[in-house]
Amino acid sequence: MAAQDKEIQSVWTRAERRRRGQPALSRDHIVAEAMALLDAEGTEALSMRKLGARLGAGATSLYTYVTNKEELLELTTDAAFGEISPPVPVADGDWRPAVRDVAYEVRSMILRHPWLSSVLGEIGLLYLGPSVMRLNEGFVTLLEEAGFEPVDADTAVTMTFAFVIGLAITEAASLQTIRRSGLTEAEWYRKFWPAAEVATRPYPRMHKRYLDIGPQLAEPGLDMERFRRDSFDTQMDRLLDGLDPALRKAR
């Protein structure tokens, strides 16, 4: 059969195979152990051989349930999205708090699983995963029942996820860099800022922004987690204003 005539295969549409003699092993069990390994050691440590050893099974046994490492990453990523509660329609039609809640859950999920920052851009068929599908279905339903036109609801979902995921993976990657340094977040920024001040000097507007924020980060006792969360709040307000049909019509 010519390549153009073949269907594109997906782990989400292929029936799960089971292997006789290993009743304790299942795709769910494999995914849970893979997530634990990823959380502890990152994507560089993930291999079918190492995962098989953690499960007390050979790598060959795992291929009964998962075709390759790429499929395993699709499964673990969808499992991570399964930690997020899909939004539900609200009686008063005020969709903004529900969208904000989803945004916070997505951000928190990525910060819990920082390995996602290196894999989300590489997973081609993630959108077919059941957890992602449930989340999208709930999100679209919330917006349509709040009065969004279908095309506007689709756009709002895409924009929200693009914004939150993009911001959160950058945040997660930065936090990983700081953890590897052995410094606290506040200590790291105090040591980083002199280099940032020098690097931005040829760019006057960026330099001014760095000079404005530098003293805030140097304040003793600054709660860095709260600082990052407040910044996220402000940006979410701007995004929600842009998505709001009522505000767009008023312009």
CATH code of the domain in which 145 resides: 1.10.357.10
Average pLDDT across the chain, whole number: 87
**Count of all residues that appear for the chain in the document:** 251
Task: Output 6 or 232, whichever has higher pLDDT.
Answer: 232
pLDDT given for residue 15 in this prediction: 63
Mean pLDDT of 49-71: 87
**Claim to verify: residue 73 and residue 104 sit in the same structural domain:** no
Mean pLDDT of 152-156: 95
Domain region containing 228: 96-182+221-250
pLDDT given for residue 119 in this prediction: 87
Hey, is 127 helix, strand or coil?
Answer: helix
In a domain, 18, yes or no: yes
pTM of the model: 0.85
The tokens describing 58, both together, are 């050979």
**Claim to verify: residue 148 and residue 236 sit in the same structural domain:** yes
pLDDT given for residue 1 in this prediction: 47
Task: Give tens-digit pLDDT for 91-102.
Answer: 888 999 999 999
- Residue 200: pLDDT above 90? yes
CA dist 186 and 101 (Å) reads 27
- Residue 208: pLDDT above 70? yes
pLDDT given for residue 39 in this prediction: 95
Mean pLDDT of 144-148: 94
Is residue 75 within 8 A of residue 27, CB to CB? The reply is: yes
Q: How many CB atoms lie within 10 A of CB 134?
A: 16
**Claim to verify: residue 233 and residue 159 sit in the same structural domain:** yes
Euclidean distance between the first and the last CA atom of the chain, given in angstroms as a whole number: 56
Domain boundary among 81, 108, 132: 81
- Residue 187: pLDDT above 90? no
In a domain, 172, yes or no: yes
R_g of the chain, CA atoms, integer Å: 22
pLDDT given for residue 17 in this prediction: 61
**Claim to verify: residue 151 and residue 101 sit in the same structural domain:** yes
Mean pLDDT of 184-192: 87
Angle formed at CA 244 by CA 240 and CA 246, multiple of 5 degrees: 150
**Claim to verify: residue 104 and residue 173 sit in the same structural domain:** yes
Task: Give tens-digit pLDDT for 22-45.
Answer: 556 888 999 999 999 999 999 999
In a domain, 112, yes or no: yes
Task: Give tens-digit pLDDT for 100-129.
Answer: 999 999 999 999 999 998 888 776 556 788
CA dist 195 and 157 (Å) reads 38
**Claim to verify: residue 144 and residue 243 sit in the same structural domain:** yes
In a domain, 200, yes or no: no
Residues 143-154 as b or e (16 or more Cβ within 10 Å = b)? bbebebeeeebb
Task: Output 216 or 227, whichever has higher pLDDT.
Answer: 227
Hey, is 39 helix, strand or coil?
Answer: helix
**% residues pLDDT > 70 (the chain):** 87
**Claim to verify: residue 124 and residue 243 sit in the same structural domain:** yes
pLDDT band with cut points at 50, 70 and 90 for residue 224: confident
In a domain, 69, yes or no: yes
